[in-house]
A and B are shown apart, each in its own frame.
Chain A
Amino acid sequence: DTEVTQTPKHLVMGMTNKKSLKCEQHMGHRAMYWYKQKAKKPPELMFVYSYEKLSINESVPSRFSPECPNSSLLNLHLHALQPEDSALYLCASSQTRGGSSYEQYFGPGTRLTVT
């Protein structure tokens, strides 16, 4: 099973709303990632979790708050977003130490629109 799932598929929220994106994988991967992707652009890294600990935060504004409750789940909590935050949010996972390869497997993404 090489599947990463993300919910919801689409999300429309106002600038004062609080919402959460969810990502799940059952491949035993211990590294999980959040990316933001604008149309016709490559994904931009936001956060990396390794063994449920935040290891990389690419200077993301505090209105984005990641959470890794266990080794299979990754959440992204959203609060007071701006219209320019509208994008496709991709989750990915990969093996860490001891793996023979470290390719990242991506979920289908959540398309976020901030009104």
Chain B
Amino acid sequence: AQTVTQSQPEMSVQEAETVTLSCTYDTSENNYYLFWYKQPPSRQMILVIRQEAYKQQNATENRFSVNFQKAAKSFSLKISDSQLGDTAMYFCAFMNQRMGNTPLVFGKGTRLSVIA
């Protein structure tokens, strides 16, 4: 069974600064997807970024980028130029690539506060 670990329950960052959220996972699979989801206080779960395990290049979406280390089973999220709207719970999630209806395995989440 796969597990996802987020070791930072809470973090804070000053506006315009950079912050990195950690995520490690455990799996025996070789093909899988990794995701970061954001859930602001409004509670809508939003996909931030995704990474296919077979791709060596780290995914980037505007101010969000990941550091994917497959051998170390590590998948951290870097947020650059933090904004107040980035305040949210961030969940790291794993999905086996075998089929498209395979459930997501979530970490426990990191609550990020961006301070003005």
Contact = CB atoms under 8 A, between A and B. Distances in A.
B43 A102 contact: no
B91 A42 contact: yes
B47 A41 contact: no
Contacts of B47: 103-105
Given A42-B108, A94-B101, A96-B100, A103 B43 contact: no
A28 B106 CA distance: 25
B44 interface: yes
B99 A97 contact: yes
Given A42-B91, A103-B33, A56 B99 contact: no
Using C-beta atoms within 8 Å of the partner chain, give the interface range for chain A.
20 to 34
Interface in A7-55: 30-31, 33, 40-43, 45, 48-50, 55
B109 A103 contact: no
Contacts of B104: 43, 45, 104
A109 B39 CA distance: 12
A88 interface: yes
Nearest to A47: B103
Given A90-B45, A103-B33, A109-B43, A43 B100 contact: no
Contact of A43 (B44, B45, B101): B45
Interface of A: 30-31, 33, 40-43, 45, 48-50, 55-56, 88, 90, 92, 94-97, 99, 101-109, 111
